[in-house]
């Protein structure tokens, strides 16, 4: 075979291989999140002004630059709230063990700002470790955030002058642009976050 023909044969071979690879990529099923629902278009957060556990202003700009998993609850909730925060902490520890980056920040927003002062929520989230951040603040500002994200909460009276707070069980994922990117529905399991979070991050 003449050198020119060899070159043509090599070029044809490369083209075939490349074409095959492209065809495989098109036809191969994409690995999709199995439990999280990813928004078709990331949604900007509403304007709001709350406080973190240190008493520092906490607005939408605080979500920029990192991935955040956000859960809404309250410290007078002895069962499902600590269970969910424990699941999130376990998921983050498993991601750390796998040397996954970027790691998500875990943010716990109180839907009971009257009883959950920055000091109270600060002590509370410290129990879970993994840099969990507590957020609370003005009730009207809280409502601006929750209404903008479709998060429900409402007081329900208990015995005497006490009350409990019904609230959404979802965990929201906010991307480093500060946009609402995906939602994890309950029941929550650490494995769901460990599996789906990296997939969503890679699709960014």
Contacting positions for another protein (CB under 8 A): 75-80, 82-83, 86, 119-124, 126-127, 152, 156, 158-159, 164, 166-170, 185-187
Residue 76's CB is within 10 A of a number of other CB atoms, namely 16
In angstroms, rounded to a whole number, what is the distance separating the alpha carbons of residues 78 and 81?
A: 7
Min. distance of Cβ 108 from another protein in angstroms? 11
Min. distance of Cβ 134 from another protein in angstroms? 9
Phi-psi region of 195 (alpha: psi -120 to 50; beta: other; left: phi over 0): alpha
Q: Considering beta carbons, is residue 33 or 134 the nearer one to another protein? A: 134
Q: Which two tokens stand for residue 163?
A: 């009350």
Q: Considering beta carbons, is residue 63 or 72 the nearer one to another protein? A: 72
Q: Considering beta carbons, is residue 170 or 200 the nearer one to another protein? A: 170
Min. distance of Cβ 83 from another protein in angstroms? 5
Question: Rounded to the nearest 5°, which phi and psi values hold at 134?
Answer: -95, 140
Min. distance of Cβ 144 from another protein in angstroms? 20
Q: Considering beta carbons, is residue 193 or 201 the nearer one to another protein? A: 193
Min. distance of Cβ 31 from another protein in angstroms? 26
| Residue corresponding to tokens 């029941």 | 187
In angstroms, rounded to a whole number, what is the distance separating the alpha carbons of residues 66 and 60?
A: 12
Q: Which two tokens stand for residue 37?
A: 């629902």
CA dist list (Å): 124 to 17, 44, 85: 57, 29, 10
- Is residue 169 within 8 Å of residue 185, measured between CB atoms? yes
Q: Considering beta carbons, is residue 56 or 158 the nearer one to another protein? A: 158
């Amino acid at each position: 075979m003449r050198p020119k023909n060899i070159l043509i044969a090599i070029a044809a071979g490369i083209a075939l291989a490349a074409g095959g690879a492209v065809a495989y990529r098109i036809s191969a099923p994409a690995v999709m999140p199995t439990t999280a629902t990813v928004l078709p278009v990331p949604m900007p957060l509403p304007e709001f002004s709350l406080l973190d556990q240190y008493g520092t202003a906490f607005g939408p700009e605080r979500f920029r630059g990192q991935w955040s998993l956000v859960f809404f609850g309250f410290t007078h909730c002895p069962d499902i709230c600590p269970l969910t925060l424990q699941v999130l902490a376990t998921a983050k520890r498993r991601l750390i063990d796998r040397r996954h980056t970027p790691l998500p920040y875990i943010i716990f927003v109180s839907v009971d700002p009257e009883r959950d002062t920055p000091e109270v929520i600060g002590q509370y989230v410290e129990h879970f470790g993994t840099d969990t951040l507590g957020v609370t603040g003005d009730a009207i500002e809280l409502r601006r955030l929750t209404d903008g994200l479709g998060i429900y909460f409402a007081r329900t009276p208990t015995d005497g002058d006490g009350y409990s707070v019904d609230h959404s069980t979802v965990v929201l994922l906010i991307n480093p642009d500060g946009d609402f990117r995906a939602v994890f529905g309950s029941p929550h399991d650490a494995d769901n976050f460990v599996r789906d979070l990296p997939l969503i991050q890679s699709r960014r």
